[in-house]
Structure 1
């Protein structure tokens, strides 16, 4: 089956900070860093770029029209728990901590985190 999403370009304010935050998160979800670029590839072939463009203006606000968040997957609850324990030291802030791991509902096992720039990522166990 072909992948459903070809790639994502994320425009960030500060590349060095974003590289550390996103690099850790993507590696934790089995994405591989491409040598010589600020891009990561998932085993299914989907890739993600981080870039800062001179065409950017304003700050990211996930609550405005546009993309609200990305949802990535991990295989096991143990991986999710490890990510939760390590997320703060990698620049991510946990959202809905009081309802972990069922903030999305009793049948949904996920971690919700926000980057220093306000990007939200939902990490879901399984498909």
Structure 2
């Protein structure tokens, strides 16, 4: 069995969902992506096992300096090779005094079938490492 590699997904908050949709609705298919999901406040495009998500920025975050809930990059999610790799990364991050997000819910903060580790980089960008099923 070949395990997924590369990005799991990238989520980007946007100031104007309608304009963003109009821009990407032609570009993404050109790049080999297919429309994956649509809902009132967002949409996504998928290619193989990776997808790119666009979500309307909440009004509260429109005019505040960088925050992952503002327009721009929300977080990066990467595939791990295994659950064991996530455990290894968790130990290494602890040694470096990196704080975890949702530690009380580890490893299922993303849901009961979503084994993942969450933390922030020095700029407070959320990083997610996801184990394949």
TM-score by length of structure 2 reads: 0.48
TM-score by structure 1 length?
A: 0.50
**Which protein has the bigger strand share?**
2
Larger Rg: 2
